């Protein structure tokens, strides 16, 4: 099969590219390297079934050309990272909304299969203990910048589902929850790589807010295996799925776990949101996905427990620092 991955030089996209090529498929990546890196794709550089085009999604006719060539488009390109999104809200909205519209238009010409990466952030401030795909999406006012990203991803989802409804385009929406593993960059707000880096360096671990917020973290290799299975499942067309882990942990407990695994004497410091983010930043107290629909459809879900994920990240970071 032939795959086009937008954002394929990024964290998740590069793991997906490796997974698909190792399965015997052909992969073409379009990535502007805004947060992605060529080094992420080092293992595929000279592979005959792999090509990387380093350019913005919306420049020239490459997207249309490659959408026609592909059997499946995996749309992962987006402006990510809390700080970058809050500091450049216009860029974030434009890339996310226009990028997705362009991908769907290009796919629509030949009826190409699309998997659209959305995010668990679309659930906003929902108080549900377990977020099912049918849960209401609860956002705050537009004057608070933190909701713009979630709103743009909701519109992306609606556009994709409308393409399916009206034009029978075979799309699947995948709401990714925190995913972690090698190549994730602390720079763009990934909490776990930040904690691991701080603990190894013997610096204080900085918890934003009071640390009571509950999250889950899934292993990237398990996430791309589930993603690929969804792409190959005809029943997933026209549907929305959560994809992540349901092994929940508070951010404060996560910081403690990282110091234990690293055997670090680092302290844990709480920093008020106002000290790190622009005014008006709001954060969901809890975000834990229900994975029942995913597992029911593909017989698979990410299962790695948080301790094993942290151990893997610490080992990887130590190797990287020593190299």
Question: What does the DSSP assignment read for 244-296?
Answer: S---EEEHHHHHHHHHHHHT----EEEE-HHHHS-TT----SB--B--HHHHH
| Nearest to ligand NAD of 56, 204 (CB atom) | 56
Nearest distance from C-beta of residue 248 to ligand NAD, angstroms: 15
CB 323 within 8 A of CB 167: no
Helix spans in 70-147 (H): 82-87, 89-110
Task: Name the minimum Å distance from CB 169 to ligand NAD.
Answer: 19
Go through 146-182 and write b for each residue having 16 or more CB atoms within 10 A of its CB, e for each that does not: bbbbbbbbbbbbebbbebbeeeebbbbbbbbbbbbbb
Which CB sits closer to ligand NAD, 73 or 117? 117
Nearer to ligand NAD, 197 or 264 (CB): 197
- Minimum Å distance from CB 237 to ligand NAD? 20
Residue with smaller CB distance to ligand NAD, 26 or 32: 32
180: tokens are: 């972690």
Q: How far is the CB of 118 from ligand NAD (least distance, A)?
A: 7
The nearer residue to ligand NAD, 78 or 255, going by C-beta atoms, is 78
Closest CA to 176 of 112, 238, 224, 128: 224
CA-based end-to-end distance of the chain: 36
When the beta carbons of 169 and 220 are compared against ligand NAD, the nearer one is: 220
The residues binding ligand NAD (CB under 6 A) are 7, 9-13, 30-36, 56-57, 76-80, 95, 99, 117, 119, 176, 178-179, 188
Cβ atoms 297, 233 nearer than 8 A: yes
Min. distance of Cβ 116 from ligand NAD in angstroms? Answer: 9
- Least Å distance between CB 202 and ligand NAD? 26
């Amino acid at each position: 099969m032939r795959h086009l991955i937008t954002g394929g030089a990024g964290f998740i996209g590069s793991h997906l590219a490796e997974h698909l090529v190792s399965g015997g498929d052909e992969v073409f990546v379009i990535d502007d390297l805004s947060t992605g890196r060529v080094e992420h794709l080092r293992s595929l550089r000279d592979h005959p079934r792999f090509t990387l085009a380093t350019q913005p999604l919306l420049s020239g006719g490459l997207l249309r050309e490659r959408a026609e060539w592909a059997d499946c488009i995996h749309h992962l390109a987006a402006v990510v990272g809390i700080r970058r999104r809050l500091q450049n809200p216009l860029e974030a909205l434009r890339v996310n909304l226009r990028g997705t519209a362009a991908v769907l238009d290009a796919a629509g010409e030949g009826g190409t299969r699309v998997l659209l990466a959305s995010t668990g952030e679309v659930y906003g401030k929902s108080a549900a203990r377990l977020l099912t795909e049918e849960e209401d999406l609860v956002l705050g006012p537009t004057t608070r910048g933190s909701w713009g990203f979630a709103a743009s991803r909701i519109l992306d989802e609606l556009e994709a589902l409308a393409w399916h409804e009206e034009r029978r385009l075979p799309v699947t929406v995948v709401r990714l929850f925190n995913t972690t593993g090698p190549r994730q960059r602390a720079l763009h707000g990934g909490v776990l790589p930040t904690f691991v880096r701080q603990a190894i360096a013997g610096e204080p671990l900085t918890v934003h807010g009071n640390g009571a917020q509950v999250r889950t973290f899934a292993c990237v290799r398990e996430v791309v295996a589930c993603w690929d299975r969804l792409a190959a499942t005809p029943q997933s067309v026209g549907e929305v799925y959560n994809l992540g882990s349901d092994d929940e942990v508070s951010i404060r407990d996560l910081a403690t776990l990282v110091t234990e695994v690293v055997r670090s004497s680092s302290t844990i410091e709480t920093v008020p949101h106002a000290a790190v983010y622009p005014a008006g930043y709001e954060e969901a107290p809890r975000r834990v996905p229900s994975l029942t629909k995913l597992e029911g459809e593909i017989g698979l879900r990410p299962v790695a427990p948080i301790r094993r994920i942290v151990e893997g990240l610490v080992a990887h970071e130590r190797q990287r620092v020593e190299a």
